[in-house]
């Protein structure tokens, strides 16, 4: 289903037109690290601050879609149709329960798209082309990536201006980061010379454990400039919110999890100045 990263080395450099908006790819090849949680809650926090966001659910598991209260099987147009060129972003985007947050939904068909894409022309840059026009008023695009470095994620990295890397405080975190930074270099030299590291975000941080602090200190030592100051705590309200179809900022606006995602929105706005 997914494709190994190696073929990327064989790509010819392509000069691509500049992306006019900041596009944040929330990426990590590992599942369960908080990509979807970050995509939804950062999107909601930015929208709340008055910055309209378009969230693109690029994962066939469609967790961003269902986590925002939409039924993936009812979506008429999805990111699949966007990648195959059957519709525009404006046609696929739907409003969510959060004012200022629009979503391009996903559905399970997208798993097949990865295979179809393999035989299509310009297979790595289809999302980038589609995102050249975004709905009016949108200030920022967030892409929720699947947990692999296959063609779908490559489409996200080709379209993105920045990679936001959620990382769990666990023993193999640094291994995963090494792989992602290698991917960053490959994509920059072959596909998207403008791709920057938007930041490493430590998620599900449990301040009571020594391991959490050890991993945080390791990441701080190895990637001092890229580690974001905001720590996302392990917070039960964050994990409950998707089953209510809401971001945590709406589900429990005053909880620690909501505050952390608002702080992240502020930090990323500051960094982009």
Ligand X SMILES: Nc1ncnc2c1ncn2[C@@H]1O[C@H](COP(=O)(O)OP(=O)(O)O)[C@@H](O)[C@H]1O
DSSP assigned state of 102: E
Radius of gyration of the chain (CA): 17
Q: Which is nearer to ligand X, 87 or 258 (CB)?
A: 258
Q: Can you tell me which of 78, 235, 246, 249 binds ligand X, judged by CB under 6 A?
A: 235
Q: Which is nearer to ligand X, 31 or 95 (CB)?
A: 31
**Contact positions with Mg ion (CB under 5 A) in 73-92:** none
127 touches 13 (CB < 8 A)? no
Number of amino acids touching ligand X (CB under 6 A): 18
* Strands, sheet with 162-168, edge to edge from the N-terminal-most edge strand: 94-95, 101-104, 53-57, 140-144, 23-26, 162-168, 196-205, 227-233
**Contact positions with Mg ion (CB under 5 A) in 49-68:** 63
Name the one range near ligand X by CB under 6 A: 32-40, 80-88, 109-117, 223-231: 32-40
Selection from 49, 36, 46 nearest residue 242 by Cα = 36
- Minimum Å gap between C-beta 180 and ligand X is 13
- Minimum Å gap between C-beta 37 and Mg ion is 8
- Minimum Å gap between C-beta 10 and ligand X is 29
**Contact positions with ligand X (CB under 6 A) in 54-93:** 63
**DSSP string of 205-255, one letter each residue:** E-TT-HHHHHHHHHHHHH-TTTEEEEEEE--HHHHHGGGGTS-HHHHSTTS
- Minimum Å gap between C-beta 234 and ligand X is 4
Q: Can you tell me which of 37, 65, 161, 249 binds ligand X, judged by CB under 6 A?
A: 37
- Separation CA 91–CA 94 (nearest Å): 8
Residue 36 contacts Mg ion per CB under 5 A: yes
Q: Can you tell me which of 102, 134, 162, 204 binds ligand X, judged by CB under 6 A?
A: 204
Extract the tokens encoding 44: 């909601």
Selection from 34, 53, 35 nearest residue 43 by Cα = 53
Determine the length of the chain: 273
| ∠ Cα 52 56 24 (to 5°) | 70
- Minimum Å gap between C-beta 121 and ligand X is 30
Give the contact letters, 156-195, x = binds to ligand X (CB under 6 A), - = no: ----------------------------------------
Residue 238 contacts ligand X per CB under 6 A: yes
Residues found near Mg ion in the complex (CB under 5 A): 35-36, 63
Residues found near ligand X in the complex (CB under 6 A): 31-37, 63, 147, 203-204, 232, 234-235, 238-239, 242, 257
């Amino acid at each position: 289903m997914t494709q190994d990263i190696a073929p990327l080395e064989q790509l010819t450099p392509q000069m691509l037109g500049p992306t006019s908006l900041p596009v944040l790819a929330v990426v990590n090849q590992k599942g369960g690290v908080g990509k979807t949680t970050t995509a939804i809650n950062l999107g909601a926090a930015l929208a709340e601050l008055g910055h309209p966001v378009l969230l693109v659910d690029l994962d066939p598991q469609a967790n961003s879609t269902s986590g925002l209260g939409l039924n993936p099987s009812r979506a008429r147009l999805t990111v699949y149709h966007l990648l195959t060129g059957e519709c525009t972003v404006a046609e696929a985007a739907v409003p969510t329960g959060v004012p200022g947050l629009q979503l391009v939904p996903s559905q399970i068909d997208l798993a097949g798209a990865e295979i179809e894409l393999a035989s299509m022309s310009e297979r790595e840059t289809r999302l980038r082309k589609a995102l050249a026009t975004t709905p009016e008023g949108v200030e920022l695009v967030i892409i929720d990536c699947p947990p692999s470095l296959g063609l779908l994620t490559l489409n996200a990295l080709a379209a993105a201006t920045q990679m936001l890397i959620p990382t769990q405080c666990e023993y193999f975190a640094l291994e995963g980061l090494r792989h992602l930074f290698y991917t960053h270099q490959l994509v920059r030299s072959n596909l998207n010379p403008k791709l920057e590291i938007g930041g490493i975000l430590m998620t599900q941080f449990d301040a009571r454990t020594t391991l959490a602090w050890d991993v945080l200190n390791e990441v701080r030592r190895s990637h001092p400039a890229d580690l974001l100051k905001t720590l996302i705590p392990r917070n039960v309200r964050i994990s409950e919110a998707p089953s209510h179809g809401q971001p945590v900022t709406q589900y429990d606006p005053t909880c620690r999890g909501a505050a952390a995602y608002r702080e992240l929105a502020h930090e990323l706005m500051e960094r982009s100045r």
